[in-house]
Structure 1
């Protein structure tokens, strides 16, 4: 393995003949080197000699060390497990089938360990991963041979001190990201891939997807109903029926249902609503560009639609021109890109051939990256941000303005996926679809409020936010809370872009939340170091951090109480400011009208008055700034025009919000000024010191 230090705390290792087409070349990721440099220098996190590589039979065998107590996290969008040590996976882009076996929508070959470093395998092949599951005979710390007949500690999973990965190629690039903390390693990985996206402000509002065969008038009627009932809405999604034919697709407007799409787009714009279009990439023989694109199709079809080889620049130009001309230029705001993940029986088989000469598996692993990159460039050409949905992604895609979704619908697993997304540079939405009860609908709705995209995707059942009258007001209050928190969410995404900090992330990335493994009595598995027996019997996969200061602990339908594991340091109730605990497990009673949220000591949450639509360009909004606890606080408030990419040229502002306690014992808040040429959409500023308002709820 030949190592090269390519940025502070980032090393590239090469073995053999690495393939030219890989995840980073497909995504065309552009490292943010200045931001990485601001994280500072860090030493190589392990002995380089402990990372081993071998070329054999046209394959590359990689071996990375694991210490006895070291835990492993990541490997993409897993739905059931947080801790990955001891697991065996084949990283393979696919529709999630109910098991964490590596077949998932975004099997990112990046992992981070509790020792504070990360490893990324830059390959577009299917990778076999043995994450501390294989016991090597030549190990310096071999598994102990035990007598099953007499030893009660015998296990069918002996100790392993290595992560081993098989790459089916004659060489590969490996990247190591130092910490020293796990969060800093994740930050370096995200920044190396360009940093996270900053959505347009409207992207952080609510989206509603309408029935697949709605026509133009029905779409407008749906929008009007939201407005009349006082529920916020920022973008509306059309399902396949907007096209003249779908499965496979013409990508042309159906003239009977949408006789004047430009008029529809304009009417929606007047109502401050953006339009999102469903697509999958497979081309109908009746598409206007079908014949012109014919030299660039793969050997197999998907639903009888041709599969364009989008790794070829000439194919990209032909394919996306219709999207540019008929969708983006008239004002469509984004896409929902479906079915670029699997199943095997849907997508092209691995025996398929493509005119680029790339292997079918390489395109399978990167097709989600290609469609994200190329579609978002259509909007960049117009200096207009987009925010959409996609079914597949992979390493290298951190910066793309897309959120992953799927057809799976287990609420608890959705939260585990949201937690795991923060380890791998992904965004995932636990969308709200059909529900069996009013309580389930409310609980699902509450979690989308605290997620990357507040998406209602109940078009098939026709469920609306107000469909269950008994919880309609609670739903409305939660929706308005999402809008109130817009300054907090927008700044959190700016931190993702400029500093690489995931806006939604696992507790393991939060300071004070320990992950050291220790043997405990009366416990069959110990993945969390915690003095409370309740916390060590299972993974902590049902609570997460949102933005700089908030801990979210969802309630699921049917639950009356739940436990919450608080990191070290004082924590306070989001709604009342009441002190709740410090480094302990607390038990809380479920309330129908609230999702449990807690704020770390000194936390600051900037709010605005609730609007039915996100603030537009140059639209002023007043701030109400909440401070929690007994410690001074600081919050970086981000601002730009909310719609363009001008922030990439410096047209943005950071304002420091600070709260201190003065010598007289009174709290004082300040917010820094903004230069004349910098964006500033903030009007009047008021302060709420929650320690002085205990028992009240200023969020209402």
Structure 2
């Protein structure tokens, strides 16, 4: 939201009050309190009839500085609030005479002016200033639409910002005006399903604005050298989060807002959907599943989209008796095929549903100020909205879903949750503006906690569309309704990378696109992209996504990349463990790992899958363009090497994609291609890529459930000898692989002598 007309003038009806003169700074023991007048204090008369701005500086966790800017304190706080895990880290406060006051937490210091105009500098231990706030940026503002509080932080020359949730435009947010406000707008506009008031700088710091309501950003727009964020009301609370590495920022940020839960390893496999408005019954579903099996296309999850329920009844959680007369028997039959089952749900209750009357009578649906049930006809006729602020409604909703779980359902696609009205009353008195975004958090938490209760921690997974800050705790999230084009494929990728830069560890998208029917080229390219994502789902709107609906080559491509993903599962499951333990996403933008490389700044058509695999989806029929950072990278599918730093343009057949292993990495390949959950250590191959002399790397191979470590290996290179040693756990059979040479382990050890004349592809 802009408040000024250019640099010098305010917009009509806008009055901006700034902290012009620091009257005093108070040492609060573990915080600083700054009192600043909005005019220069020349004499006592200047203290009369003048607003004051109060600013509190504290430290909720190590390496995190909190700043609260307030005008009036008497406004009732109605909530809701983001659940933050403050560690109560000890802050060092110094208030010397004649100098700036400081508050230090870890390696980050807030340096505050004690006289003259307000100034806050965020400083590292080496003295470098990350960003600063001045009296021209901090402000309380009156507008025709009510009061606002604004903050501006300086942007360094060449500094770039990322994040703010799922955004489908350019990955770099500089030059963009963004409102953090959940909306059901597809993937081709400025609207987004997952809005997160957190931005990440490639200088190694982040800023989290602790407001669930609309947060408006002007990033190098209202003032070209500053990033601005503002909220309606009388106060603004934000946190500056130190790195110094961008990945370290995400570690601290997710420690504050919540780490992603561990996902079951079966969820990494291929999901197949009925699609949305297509015709289907059990016979259709069975034909799809048998068709996949006949073509050696391993399937892990079958998903039933909306019409598993009767039309006009969504959501009543009752199987359509015409198309699915024996749901328990059908689910048992699917389980006999070793499949998991996911069904579509949303938090809306159609008027025709028997649950509408029940929810309305019990007070479980959101109401208008007059006490009526809030209703509208968008999506479902006369639908109401479950009030998750009511504990009884929460338990009621879970009990309805529990019936499905006990029938045999394994997971839920938690669709929608963005179209949340603001002219309503909530059971707990929450502010409707703050509940608009926060509703997604309550909705997904309710469902996820039920799955954990019924299936156990580590075996719960949702397929969620809406989210806000903290939503990463309830994986997995998918990118929403995209078109079936190469352009939409790129939009989806940008959305996923932006979400990853906002702390979300697991992500998926509709392979082939949702709206329309992709041509075979788009489908085949999207298959490679989808199966080299953390989670992979074939889903569409009005047409099926079974590969043979496109052409025979689509079947081959799907088989190739499904098999490849299953072989990569020891590596992917370990990356998933890391996402849950450290908050570093499985899929992530290049800038997270190469913050000093200027060529990765806007590289939004490629990503890292885990820390050691570079993936560049082919966004055209045949041509791929991607950037290779410094070092000698290896094409995993061909064994060819590419030395960077440089941009590469090359042709790829449909069964190929740029998939490069990082120099010095060791990728654990599993022995099975038919499923994602198996004993990864049994028959594991340690593929070593261009190790430096003297290097040593620890490789952990997870247990089949992804929860622990089945085997640990130490891989060293000394001169011409590459040696791997099993140092923990057990592996019945394993091998070391380098440049196509495979050495079977002799007990706990395997080695390859680089000086020996060995034909590539040989086995020893």
TM-score class, shorter-chain normalisation, is 0.7 to 0.9
1:219 counterpart SS class: helix
CA-CA distance at 1:296 after TM superposition: 3.1
Query: Which residue of the other structure, out of 146, 155, 169, is the alignment partner of 1:66?
Result: 155
- Residues 415-494 of structure 1 mapped to structure 2, 5 A cutoff: 415-426=493-504, 427-433=506-512, 435-458=517-540, 460-467=542-549, 468-494=551-577
Query: Which residue of the other structure, out of 234, 259, 275, is the alignment partner of 1:195?
Result: 259
The corresponding residue for 1:223 is 289
Change (3 A) 1:405 1:169: same
User: Do the aligned residues in 2 keep the contact of 1:636 with 1:657 (CA within 8 Å)?
Assistant: yes
1:556 aligns with 2:619: yes
Query: Which residue of the other structure, out of 400, 422, 431, is the alignment partner of 2:474?
Result: 400
The corresponding residue for 2:18 is none
Bigger shift: residues 543-552 or 221-230: 221-230
- Residues 197-212 of structure 1 mapped to structure 2, 5 A cutoff: 197-211=261-275
The corresponding residue for 1:244 is 310
The corresponding residue for 1:296 is 364
1:476 counterpart SS class: helix
Change (3 A) 1:446 1:98: closer
User: Do the aligned residues in 2 keep the contact of 1:93 with 1:106 (CA within 8 Å)?
Assistant: yes
- Residues 496-507 of structure 1 mapped to structure 2, 5 A cutoff: 496-507=579-590
User: Do the aligned residues in 2 keep the contact of 1:236 with 1:273 (CA within 8 Å)?
Assistant: yes
Aligned residue pairs total 624
Query: Which residue of the other structure, out of 205, 210, 217, is the alignment partner of 1:122?
Result: 210
CA-CA distance at 1:588 after TM superposition: 2.2
Q: Superposition RMSD on alpha carbons, in Å?
A: 2.9
2:603 counterpart SS class: coil
Question: Which of 1 and 2 has greater Rg?
Answer: 2
User: Do the aligned residues in 2 keep the contact of 1:204 with 1:454 (CA within 8 Å)?
Assistant: yes
The corresponding residue for 2:92 is none
Query: Which residue of the other structure, out of 409, 416, 428, is the alignment partner of 1:332?
Result: 409
Change (3 A) 1:279 1:62: same
For structure 1, which runs of at least 5 residues remain unmatched after alignment? 35-39, 136-159, 342-346, 516-527, 530-535, 675-679
1:667 aligns with 2:744: no
- Residues 671-686 of structure 1 mapped to structure 2, 5 A cutoff: 671-674=726-729, 683-686=732-735
CA-CA distance at 1:30 after TM superposition: 5.0
1:540 counterpart SS class: coil
Change (3 A) 1:228 1:633: farther
1:278 aligns with 2:344: yes
CA-CA distance at 1:100 after TM superposition: 5.5
Query: Which residue of the other structure, out of 588, 594, 605, is the alignment partner of 1:542?
Result: 605
1:629 aligns with 2:717: no
Query: Which residue of the other structure, out of 229, 232, 241, is the alignment partner of 2:298?
Result: 232
TM-score, with length taken from structure 1: 0.83
CA-CA distance at 1:330 after TM superposition: 3.0
The corresponding residue for 1:388 is 462
2:714 counterpart SS class: strand
CA-CA distance at 1:473 after TM superposition: 1.6
User: Do the aligned residues in 1 keep the contact of 2:313 with 2:353 (CA within 8 Å)?
Assistant: no
Distance 1:24 1:223 in 2: 44
Query: Which residue of the other structure, out of 197, 200, 217, is the alignment partner of 1:109?
Result: 197
The corresponding residue for 1:371 is 443
Deviations 1:179-204 (A, max 9, x none): 11122112211232222232101110
User: Do the aligned residues in 1 keep the contact of 2:312 with 2:353 (CA within 8 Å)?
Assistant: no
1:318 aligns with 2:396: yes
Deviations 1:482-502 (A, max 9, x none): 111111111111111111211
Change (3 A) 1:666 1:51: same
1:54 aligns with 2:139: yes
User: Do the aligned residues in 2 keep the contact of 1:204 with 1:453 (CA within 8 Å)?
Assistant: yes
Distance 1:29 1:309 in 2: 22
Deviations 1:105-144 (A, max 9, x none): 1121100112210000111111111112123xxxxxxxxx
The corresponding residue for 2:185 is 96
User: Do the aligned residues in 1 keep the contact of 2:161 with 2:172 (CA within 8 Å)?
Assistant: yes
Which of the pair is proportionally richer in strand? Answer: 2
For structure 2, which runs of at least 5 residues remain unmatched after alignment? 1-54, 90-104, 113-119, 122-131, 369-373, 743-757
Query: Which residue of the other structure, out of 196, 221, 225, is the alignment partner of 1:161?
Result: 225
Distance 1:42 1:225 in 2: 58
Distance 1:620 1:114 in 2: 37
The corresponding residue for 1:131 is 219
CA-CA distance at 1:7 after TM superposition: 2.1
The corresponding residue for 2:491 is 413
The corresponding residue for 1:524 is none
